[in-house]
Structure 1
């Protein structure tokens, strides 16, 4: 009787991206796909500091979002460095929990269904759904990537709907930039997954690395946008505004939320 390979062993994942294995480093399977996760290590600590006011005055759960964003980078780097089945599952489950946590925290109440009317009940429901989805992800890992891509469709649709409701042009422009970056990222993912032979002949099998860079930008931008929409809905009296770091004049910088009416009270904390 033949035993299944140990899932921690290198190369046990059924998923192998277009980049050649161990071509640059003898210990890192897909070098470019591994190091291209760098933005997932830069943005979360920065955003944790920038969102301190938002966390104190609106929702401390934003720290969980940034922690999960960092976890996605860690697990993705581990997966691409080893191509192990455990690495693949950790990567995909981290993405799943990030998506579910964002929905649980920021989905507008007007979209609640199944008789759910309050945020806490909705979050408990999402926790149950996410737990069941995690189990299914471990049982059928070959389908995970396509399911996760599918979850991006309602998230993008919701983002576009909320952008159209917004009258702040600075927020609207960021929203459309986010949507375009997400679509560019998706095209990179699809091309690397389905048309590897063509890109290999062009000596550029690195589109999955481009996906990592683009999706990191799209993911944190979407989280900032939904945090802004949530603040406008839950604490409109605090007059939430979007600013950019390091200079507010540079709208391609890192966006974050400031609560104008909470500034004086916050500075005393």
Structure 2
């Protein structure tokens, strides 16, 4: 039961992010919503796996995570770091990443251990790129969010390692909840990383929109849910932006 409760954030936060990223999806890329939907399915797969402890549940859980990484990797990988062939036509990069993900998924169904290597193969470079983007960023709010993301990720890894290596010790101490902590912290760090990637991509590819990091429900409370808001230069006032957001909401 605790494990089911610990997956609750996977069902609560993605719909909020879809709502908050309405404007971003209309102006920058509708693909951002795919990432939030895939995070929702990570929660579905995780809940199913821990309820059944079946091989199918394990594959559902791990493949959902893989496709979240692939979608984010494909959509937000910095153009300047792409091979020259992909820099002028990102669609080819999308296609290449899709076929890599498809190949890994097929191999994982044949030999499930492959998925762990696939997650490391794409997860580690993605983390390194995010770290590099935060380091070169001059936005203090983004830097603080990057520090928060890193801190939460470290907590997630510590929970996972303690649960794997010292499970008997924690059970003897009547505290068998570290895997719950892993679920909560890894979700918080994962969606925060996706928000940062979305921000850095918009800042590089759509600088005229003046991407800014905001927090919901209150912008002055940085422990809230982060999202990216776009503000046009020049004649577009805050009132027009709010009207645009309202029209975007009606489209979904």
TM-score computed with the length of structure 2 as normaliser: 0.89
Other-structure match for 1:94? 64
Counterpart Cα distance in 2 of 1:153 and 1:167: 24
Other-structure match for 1:60? 30
2:151 equivalent to 1:168: no
Other-structure match for 1:75? 45
2:129 to 158, 164, 181: 158
Q: 1:116 and 1:129, CA in 2 relative to 1: closer, same or farther beyond 3 A?
A: same
8 Å contact kept, 2:231–2:241: no
Counting only pairs closer than 5 Å after superposition, residues 110-149 of structure 1 correspond to structure 2 as: 110-113=80-83, 115-117=85-87, 118-142=89-113, 144-145=115-116, 147-149=118-120
8 Å contact kept, 1:156–1:179: no
Aligned residues: 239
Counterpart Cα distance in 1 of 2:113 and 2:170: 23
8 Å contact kept, 1:53–1:266: no
Taking only aligned residues, the RMSD between alpha carbons, in angstroms, comes to 1.7
8 Å contact kept, 2:45–2:57: yes
Q: 1:223 and 1:185, CA in 2 relative to 1: closer, same or farther beyond 3 A?
A: same
2:172 to 182, 191, 201: 201
Structure 1 residue 149, shift from structure 2 partner: 4.7
Task: Tell me the secondary structure at the aligned position of residue 116 of structure 1.
Answer: helix
Structure 1 residue 146, shift from structure 2 partner: 5.8
Q: 1:147 and 1:199, CA in 2 relative to 1: closer, same or farther beyond 3 A?
A: farther
Other-structure match for 1:267? 243
- Which sections of structure 1, spanning at least 5 residues, go unmatched? 1-30
Q: Identify the structure with the greater helix proportion.
A: 2
Other-structure match for 1:48? 18
Q: 1:34 and 1:153, CA in 2 relative to 1: closer, same or farther beyond 3 A?
A: same
- Which sections of structure 2, spanning at least 5 residues, go unmatched? 248-252
Task: Tell me the secondary structure at the aligned position of residue 160 of structure 2.
Answer: helix
2:5 equivalent to 1:35: yes
TM-score computed with the length of structure 1 as normaliser: 0.84
Other-structure match for 1:27? none
Render the CA deviation track for 1:156-188: whole Å, top value 9, x for unaligned.
211110001111101110011101111211121
8 Å contact kept, 2:107–2:114: no
